[in-house]
Amino acid sequence: MARGQHGSQHAQDRTDRIDRTDQVDRPSRRRVLELCAVSLAVGASGTGCSLLSTSPQGKKRDAGKTAQAKGAEAPMLARQVEAGKLPPVRRRLPKKPLVVKPAERIGRYGGTWHAAMLGADTAWLDRTIGYDPLLRWRPGARTFDREQVVPGVAESFEVNADASEYTFRLREGMRWSDGEPFTADDIVFAYEDVLLNKKISPVLAAAYLAGGRPARISRTDTYGFKVTFDEPNALFAQRMATKAYGLDLVKHPRHYLSKFHEKYSEDADRLARKGKFTDWVALFGAKRDRWANPELPTLDAWVITNAVGTGDRVVATRNPYYWKVDPDGSQLPYLDEFVNSVVSDPEVMLLKATNGEFDFQERTITSLRNKPVLARSRDKGHYRFLDMVNANMNTAIISLNLCHKDPVKREIFRNRDFRVGLSHAINRREIIVAAYQRQGTPAQPAPRPESAFYDRQLATQYTEYDVGLANQHLDRAGYRERDRSGVRLGPDGSPIRFVVEIASQDYGFGWANVMDLVRGYWRAVGVDMSVHAEDGSLFYERKDANTFDAVVWQGDVGGMDPRLEPRYYMPYRDESNFALPWAEWYQTRGAGGEEPPEAVRRQMSLYDQMTATADADEQNRLLHEVVAMAREQFYAIGICLPPKGYSIVRNDFHNVPTMMIESDYPEPGPTNPEQYFTTRQ
């Protein structure tokens, strides 16, 4: 099977056929049927014979180090088959299921994955039980080139020479979690009736655009479809592996959602009124929200049984129609349930962790500040640390609102000398000692030193702590005059005062402590800043409405390979917090937002050129230029490069890789959580 090629090889008159995966050879249909028969005989007893041994050539393994013998499906599902509530597993699996190679060894069925999230942190669910996109990242990938993309929901895909046409093959016989067939009709529905419907999706995501024009998606047969662009879209395959775009086409079951769509149902508005929604669009939005609607059929390994926000935990149980198997041909997932506690206090989550209540936990509590506490309780809690390769590039990025609605603040924030002066006023080394356990390096938002796109000047400029130099830049900005309290006066003669907003869920980055120190540094050079912490939902509400002075967020993308997410190097999308209206202008091709200055438009043009070429060398050259232009723009102010991260894994929780990428990758999704298993008694 041919891999996607780069460079001059793209000029060859051929297409790249990609049905490779880091999984193993698929089991034969006969092998699956054999296992099905044995499964029915074994039932729920948990016993078996050499045919079902997890050891090579049927050799015995140490009982404490291997899984028990198993059939083709979980005992809880075998019982439902026996009771006539489910069809046999051979009818629930696709003709060619995706075969997942275990990280350590073949697992065993049963048990629960215990974890937790802070409030309605559905991003944690996206990463743990919600990453089954059209295509997926190869486990352990550190770059975002096409070679790191492998099949996911799609069985295979082909790309033509100039990357203007993508042909996908779905898995024959694949089904939604309710047993209904998953076909190309679902793909076409998702695109034409959801993504292209302006009532539901006012703006089409850039992933589906080339040259400002939308893609065309056509059904080729029951299990095939084609995506065609008027111009090359060289990053489309990679985008179909991300959590941001990769689920768009595979999370809208036509047979279910069409009942609430005006195009297919005359009752849509009546159902909306009955459900106390304003119209069918609001009803449709609620019905397609996968973490708020347990009735929504899914392709995920586990299906939620209750909506987020309806209790103190979220429970998901195994999908009987899941489309992956292990090398033995046994249907995945191994684990019966995912039980996620919902807590409002990080300290409660930390206590649960030290008590050994979590099987795998990576979010919220795994901070440098908490590491000594967690380390002391490893024996008591029966867990270990898992190293995370940090692909994030900054602990705290301060974004002044360059498109502020207040013209005075807009003028101040757009003054480059003002931003440079504020940057020199920050004592980053003191912050690293006080907030990050002496771990970290002063840095601006920039690709990491390990990245092929590392730009030393961008990463280090204006990070020197120098109060004299800070004052020089602030004076040069035109704000030399001060009031009686020493606060500099802005262009309107008023003291320069503004608020920096932070999310109270700081994901272990200690933003409140960091910004309290920054407040003092800036006050010392005549700038009056205050800090306001708020719930994440309010934070995003105000940010999205562009009603803020400045915000702080982590540099969670663009650290290793910024080609898919250059949000901190140019106004790219709705997370480019320093200039959201400019980003909207870019995403909508001028239909919305605010037109940016010429230099910024030039940067956007270079990025567009990069996405339009299938030549890898040319892509890299253009992306280097985009990153280099970020030096002069100096959009946002960073604090430091994050140190190596970690997560906690119970000693009896298995098949979690010994190393994991920590970023918007999104870990742990690409490591195939469906092959995790437990030996907890």
What CATH number corresponds to the domain at position 56?
A: 3.40.190.10
User: Does 200 share its domain with 142?
Assistant: yes
What is the per-residue DSSP string for 319-374?
Answer: -TT--EE-TTSPBSPS-SEEEEEEES-HHHHHHHHHTT--SEE-SSS-STTTHHHH
Judge whether residue 129 has pLDDT over 50.
yes
User: Does 500 share its domain with 634?
Assistant: yes
User: Does 363 share its domain with 471?
Assistant: no
User: Does 441 share its domain with 558?
Assistant: yes
Count of domains for the chain: 3
Q: Give the pLDDT confidence of 450-469 residue by residue, as tens digits.
A: 899 999 999 999 999 999 99
What is the per-residue DSSP string for 381-404?
Answer: HTEEEEEEEE---EEEEEEE-TT-
Q: What single letter denotes the amino acid at residue 501?
A: E
User: Does 658 share its domain with 563?
Assistant: no
Domain-located, residue 276: no
Helix, strand or coil for residue 264?
coil
Q: Give the pLDDT confidence of 347-364 residue by residue, as tens digits.
A: 999 999 999 999 999 988
CB distance 436 to 371 below 8 Å:
no
Judge whether residue 8 has pLDDT over 50.
no
Count of CA atoms in the C-beta half-sphere (13 A) of 433: 4
d(CA 560, CA 567): 13
User: Does 181 share its domain with 328?
Assistant: no
Judge whether residue 509 has pLDDT over 90.
no
The residue whose two tokens read 């695109």 is: 191
Q: Give the pLDDT confidence of 203-238 residue by residue, as tens digits.
A: 898 899 998 899 999 999 999 999 999 999 999 999
Domain finish residue from 228, 249, 270: 249
Mean pLDDT confidence for 146-151: 93
Q: Which domain holds residue 202?
A: 7-23+133-249
User: Does 437 share its domain with 500?
Assistant: yes
Q: Between 368 and 633, whose confidence is greater?
A: 633
Domain-located, residue 284: no
pLDDT at 558: 87
d(CA 296, CA 91): 21
Least confident residue range of 49-53, 56-60, 155-159, 499-503? 49-53
User: Does 164 share its domain with 232?
Assistant: yes
Name the percent of the chain lying above pLDDT 90: 79
Do you find a cis peptide bond into 333, omega within 30 degrees of 0? yes
Domain containing 574 — which CATH number? 3.10.105.10
pLDDT at 363: 87
CA distances to 26, 389, 425, 514 from 433, rounded to whole Å, are: 52, 22, 17, 11
For residue 476, the tally of other CB atoms under 10 A from its CB is 15
Domain-located, residue 286: no
Domain-located, residue 274: no
pLDDT at 323: 99
48 pLDDT band, cuts 50/70/90, is very low
Judge whether residue 102 has pLDDT over 90.
yes
Q: Between 56 and 576, whose confidence is greater?
A: 576
Mean pLDDT confidence for 657-678: 90
Judge whether residue 33 has pLDDT over 60.
no
pLDDT at 337: 98
Mean pLDDT confidence for 170-180: 99
Judge whether residue 49 has pLDDT over 60.
no
Domain-located, residue 606: yes
Mean pLDDT confidence for 188-203: 97
Q: Write the CB contacts of 55 (distance below 8 Å, at least 6 apart in sequence).
A: 61, 66
Q: What ranges make up the beta strands (E) of 474-614? A: 497-503, 528-534, 550-555
Domain-located, residue 272: no
CA distances to 315, 436, 679 from 529, rounded to whole Å, are: 43, 22, 52
107 pLDDT band, cuts 50/70/90, is very high
Judge whether residue 10 has pLDDT over 90.
no
pLDDT at 66: 41
Question: Whole-prediction pTM value?
Answer: 0.83
d(CA 561, CA 581): 25
Domain finish residue from 249, 282, 316: 249
Q: What single letter denotes the amino acid at residue 356?
A: G
CA distances to 195, 242, 316, 553, 603 from 248, rounded to whole Å, are: 8, 10, 21, 25, 28
Name the percent of the chain lying above pLDDT 70: 90
User: Does 507 share its domain with 422?
Assistant: yes
User: Does 405 share its domain with 508?
Assistant: yes
Mean pLDDT confidence for 286-296: 98
d(CA 311, CA 238): 36
Largest CA distance in the chain: 87
505 pLDDT band, cuts 50/70/90, is confident
Domain-located, residue 85: no
User: Does 372 share its domain with 448?
Assistant: no
Domain finish residue from 193, 223, 249: 249
User: Does 609 share its domain with 542?
Assistant: yes
Burial of residue 263 (number of CB atoms within 10 Å: 0-12, 13-18, 19+) = exposed
pLDDT at 39: 38
Judge whether residue 5 has pLDDT over 60.
no
pLDDT at 11: 36
Q: Between 2 and 425, whose confidence is greater?
A: 425
Domain-located, residue 83: no
pLDDT at 4: 36
Rg over CA atoms, the chain: 26
Domain containing 152 — which CATH number? 3.90.76.10
CB distance 190 to 256 below 8 Å:
no
Average pLDDT of the residues of the chain: 90
Q: Write the CB contacts of 552 (distance below 8 Å, at least 6 apart in sequence).
A: 396, 397, 398, 399, 500, 501, 502, 511, 514, 515
CA dihedral defined by 4, 5, 7, 9, rounded to 10 degrees? -130
